[in-house]
Amino acid sequence: MVAENAGLSEAEVEAIGRVGLSLDQADKMVENVVGLFQVPLGIATNFLIDGRELLVPMATEEPSVIAAASNGAKMALAGGGFVTSSTKPVMRALIQVTGVDDPWGARLAILSRSEEITSRANEKDPMLVSYGGGVVGVEAEVVETRKGPMVVVHLLVDCRDAMGANAVNTMAEALAPFIEEITGGRVYLRIISNLADLRLARARAVFRAGEIGGPEVVDGIVLASALAESDPYRAATHNKGIMNGVTAVTMATGNDTRAIEAGAHSYAARGGRYRSLSVYEKNRDGDLVGSIELPVAVGTVGGATRVHPVARAAVRVLGLRSADDLGRILASVGLAQNFAALRALATEGIQRGHMSLHARNVAVQAGAKGDEIEAVAAKMAAEKRINVDRARELLSEMR
């Protein structure tokens, strides 16, 4: 059904279901390859994003994540699904200038040469410029450090459909001698910033009170949100729940999960205190309004997205039109995932749902094989006793 919906070719279906990544392909992706490490790929359902129905591929090792995302998305349907927006795909390259006697003067010297800096950087990537991307700004700050003041130059680059690390790193490295010439300082670091605060995606959804269990559930989720907005200990787990969804889609599309994680967590701490990436409020009708904003440094060209056959097929399942499209999907999935977790936490707790889905893993750990796995898992779920000891007992009874 997924293949039919996305119009996948026979080869793409094979890639997802059977062939996957070959050892030969893997050997060209990274170094010292000795094998493949496989992770389950599932499809989250019920996503309505900006009026478009989507099936969302998710690569994750964690049971109940895909079910929860699908459930969260389903509960958003009555309110019209997810409504998204985004900024332009602008990434920052950082250039560290040290040993400057007059850092404030150097800062202004850099800013006064912005146009020249821009054109020199753009010369490094005419292809990006031809697609409407390239440098959109130059910033310079003096950063006080324990080794004295440093001038930090930011090159703001519209990366279009690329994640952008290669583009901005190339530009930053090429500019270093020119920046040294302007400032009289010495350049050390020339690298992307993963705090992609100029490349944001946002999603909003209305969860109707009647759909999600009534006014008490709405109030419970608003209280959970309030805590995560103020308490870093709760915010870390709240955001981990968001990233369960975001990272799984990032992985499925062959994007850099660490870049996405670094961006999300540093953005969550941008005000000087770590807080939640999402907020839940009660509207005038008594319904729950969820919103999320997070950096989305992802691409649809280059990298593993184009090389890994399963990632390529996942991109086709999503029907991606651009990296911007993917960013908005990530925000929506993060919100759905987060909502589902909060709903469970604000009501019966997550363990019942999670453990019943985890029961199959427990059965396997206890040594169950073939049909035994489902039978042991179902029995444990019915008894609400899901642990390896019980699985072993049931197995030996069965056998």
CA distances from 119 to 17, 136, 138, 274 (A): 47, 10, 11, 37
Residue 62 known to be catalytic: yes
Residue number, 294 or 341, with CB nearest to ligand MEV = 341
Q: Is 341 in the site for ligand MEV (CB under 6 A)?
A: yes
Residue 241 binds ligand MEV, judged by CB under 6 A: yes
Stretch that binds ligand MEV, among 6-14, 273-281, 289-297, 337-345 (CB under 6 A): 337-345
Reference 197, options 121, 139, 144; nearest CA is 139
Q: Does 350 contact ligand MEV by CB under 6 A?
A: yes
* 168 near ligand MEV, rule: CB under 6 A: no
* Annotated active-site residue in 14, 50, 62, 229: 62
Catalytic residue flag (residue 354): yes
CB of 62 to ligand MEV, least distance (A): 6
Question: What are the structure tokens assigned to 222, written together?
Answer: 């608003």
Q: Of the candidates 118, 244, 247, 332, which one interacts with ligand MEV according to CB under 6 A?
A: 244
Active-site residue identified among 124, 238, 265, 354:
354
Residue closer to ligand MEV (CB basis): 137 or 232: 232
240 binds ligand MEV (CB under 6 A): yes
**What's the rounded Cα separation, in Å, for the pair 190 and 93?**
7
- The 3-class SS string of 125-173 reads CHHHHHCCCEEEEEEEEEEEECCEEEEEEEEEEECCCECCHHHHHHHHH
Out of 256, 287, 324, 372, the active site residue is 256
State how far Cα 54 lies from the chain centre. 17
Residue that has been written with the tokens 């759909």 in this structure = 211
Q: Which residue has the tokens 């399942």?
A: 317
Range in contact with ligand MEV (rule: CB under 6 A) among 94-102, 203-211, 319-327, 339-347:
339-347
Residue type, 225: S
Interatomic CA distance for residues 269 and 160, integer angstroms: 26
Q: Which helix (H) or strand (E) holds 260?
A: helix 257-268
Active site residue 308: no
Name the token pair of 42.
Answer: 């599932």
Catalytic entry in 102, 240, 261, 281: 240
- Cα distance between residue 37 and residue 30, in whole Å: 13
Q: Which of 141-149, 172-180, 236-244, 374-382 is the region at the interface with ligand MEV (rule: CB under 6 A)?
A: 236-244
When the beta carbons of 74 and 240 are compared against ligand MEV, the nearer one is 240
- Of 240 and 392, nearer to ligand MEV (C-beta) is 240
Closest Cα partner for 219 from 282, 154, 277, 272?
282
By CB under 6 A, is residue 238 in contact with ligand MEV?
Answer: yes
Q: Is 88 a catalytic residue?
A: no
Cα three-residue angle 270-243-37, rounded to 5 degrees: 130
C-beta of 163 vs 251, nearer to ligand MEV: 251
Amino acid at the residue 296: V
CB nearest ligand MEV: which residue? Answer: 241
Instruction: Report the b/e string of 287-296 with b at 16+ CB within 10 A.
Output: bbbbbbbbbb
Stretch that binds ligand MEV, among 111-119, 193-201, 208-216, 237-245 (CB under 6 A): 237-245
* Contact positions vs ligand MEV (CB under 6 A): 237-238, 240-241, 244, 341-342, 345, 350
Catalytic residues: 62, 240, 256, 354
